[in-house]
Amino acid sequence: MKPTRDATEPGPRPGPADFGMPMPAAGAFSNPARPLRELAGPPGWPLLGHLPILDRRRLQQQLEHWAGTHGPLYRLQLGRRPVLVVADHQLAQDVMRRRPQRVLRSPTTRRVCQELGVDGLFMSEGERWQALRRLTVRAFTPEMLRGFHPRMLTIGQRWRERWVRALQAGRQPDLARDLPRFSLEVGVALAMGVDLGAGTAPGQAQAGAGSLQLQADIEFLIGQVWRRINATVPLWRWFKTAPERAVDAAITRVRQALLPIIEQARAHRAAQPEAAPRHLLDALLIAQARPEAGERPVELTDEQLVRLLTELVFAGEDTSAHSLAWLMSLASRHPGAWQQLQTEIAQACPPEGPDYDSLRRLPYAEALIQESQRLKPVISLLMFQSAEDQVVGGVLVPKGAGLMTLNRYSALRQGPEDRHDFRPERWLTLDGQAPCASSMPFGAGARTCPGRYAALLQMKTLLALMAPVLDLLPTQVPLPEEVMEVTLRPATLDLRWRLRGATA
């Protein structure tokens, strides 16, 4: 079988033409147009529309159910704001490709993230977004990721040893708790070179109080994003209760922790201007100091760098952790998947641990990731605002109206008969079916996630560390329920592990 291209290196994702699917014709999404207000949708309440009946924790399933009832284009009313829900993957990709000129981030999300101090690249629009995007894309280079990988490996080995010790003591590892913390440690180290878990290996002192406080504050603030986005009335803007004062205090502490780190990075870069980038902050300072020909220089203040780096850490923590959680949950219910991964890693990776180059020789590990993201994409719902009157799928969307894209719906309703099955082998050749073409876990268009290669590298690294020493025990228990909290996560993580070679 012909392996797919390596996903840790930049390159084009397969599109419809790669799978024998016709590309949408010019104007296919333009005529004839009918007003959004005439589109069908579920019944709502007077004045409030659908706000009282939205199930925030099960929002993805609820919206997909309505798409099955009303079709891949339907209307919601959120208070005074009309919203077009787009479930068809080609139309969803068309909406994403209209960013950033014609489609903007949801204003509610933008304002909440600004208040929480995480309005960097993802929350920017217009010229500011273009400038930050250029810098960030130039920073997320294979050279930077290759240089950072040994530190990622160290963090992964530290967590693996913790899980091994738990099993030796007769306890099951708590991956529901540990995977987000592993991802957070990787994210902070990648963003700014700070190892939150340094000193927590056996026989060493605990991590410093400053690192533990920074980790606690970031975890706390990540949990506030979904709560505030879904608040019916943003009371914190007028009344500062004790919980809201705790949020403000955490924002201040994160800022105070990051400013000295940025100052040190600037000093290091000034002293060694030709040194290879050690982490993303380093790479950003290099890109900022060396604009490409024809580019306007971009000056970022320390305050802007704090917001950008915090946002990048937020964006990577839940997504990578929950992607790994879904992958392991799916693999545990399909005997042979974990064993095939173990065989591939034993053949491709050095005994002392996976290096950057060996991770490029893991087509089955990559297939596991792609197939789990097809069935359980953690970014399964995106919310936007129309920046102008425009036509989407034959529907006239007025300026200011909302747009929601359901990024999984087509993958589960179009394609081969086995589209609902977990079958990683479908990704090992390029003659796949429609579910592969409709899978878009990192978005589409100009605002495709710039950190996708770092996320894939992180997932493959942890899998390559765990598989040689841990057996994932099969289970017949149904998959855990899906819970929506910015990302789509499993409600529980009922995994059982055994040291490799140990008897049951």
pLDDT on residue 8? 41
DSSP 3-state of 167: helix
pTM: 0.86
With cut-offs at 50, 70 and 90, classify the pLDDT of residue 436: low
Helices and strands (H and E) in the chain: how many: 15, 12
Position 42 confidence tier, pLDDT thresholds 50, 70, 90:
very high
Query: For 291-298, what is the mean pLDDT?
Result: 74
**What is the pLDDT confidence band of residue 363, given thresholds at 50, 70 and 90?**
very high
Are 315 and 451 contacting, i.e. CB atoms less than 8 angstroms apart?
A: yes
Taking the C-alpha atoms of residue 394 and residue 127, their distance in angstroms, rounded to an integer, is: 30
Query: What is the band of 17 on the pLDDT scale with cuts at 50, 70, 90?
Result: very low
18-36: average pLDDT: 55
The second-level CATH assignment, the architecture, of 31-493 is Orthogonal Bundle (1.10)
pLDDT of 206 reads 40
User: Lowest-pLDDT range, 60-64, 69-73, 206-210, 250-254?
Assistant: 206-210
pLDDT score recorded for residue 396: 96
Using the predicted structure, report yes or no on whether residue 121 has a pLDDT greater than 60.
yes
What are the b/e assignments for 174-194, b being 16+ CB within 10 Å? ebbebbbbbbbbbbbbbbbbb
Round to whole Å and give the CA distance between 310 and 287: 19
Q: Between these two residues, 58 and 14, which has the higher pLDDT value?
A: 58
Taking a C-beta distance cutoff of 8 angstroms, is the pair 89, 64 a contact? no
Above 80 in pLDDT, residue 312?
yes
List the domain boundaries for the chain. Answer: 31-493
DSSP state of 297: P
Average pLDDT over residues 398-407: 94
Q: What is the pLDDT of residue 334?
A: 93
H or E segment and range at residue 227: helix 209-229
pLDDT score, position 207: 43
Q: Compute the average pLDDT of residues 21-46.
A: 71
pLDDT tens digits, 128-137: 877 788 778 8
Q: Looking at the predicted structure, is the pLDDT value of residue 402 above 90?
A: yes
Q: Give 225's DSSP letter.
A: H
Distance CA 190, CA 169 (A): 32
pLDDT at 10 over 60: no
- Per-residue pLDDT at 392: 95
Q: Alpha-carbon distance 366 to 345, whole Å?
A: 12
With H, G, I as helix, E, B as strand and everything else as coil, classify residue 272: coil
| Mean pLDDT to the nearest integer, 65-92 | 94
CB atoms within 10 A of CB 479: 18
Q: What rounded mean pLDDT belongs to the chain? A: 84
The DSSP string of 79-145 is TTEEEEEE-SHHHHHHHHHTTTTTEEE-HHHHHHHHHTT--SSTT--HHHHHHHHHHHHHHS-HHHH
Query: Which run of H or of E encompasses 370?
Result: helix 363-375
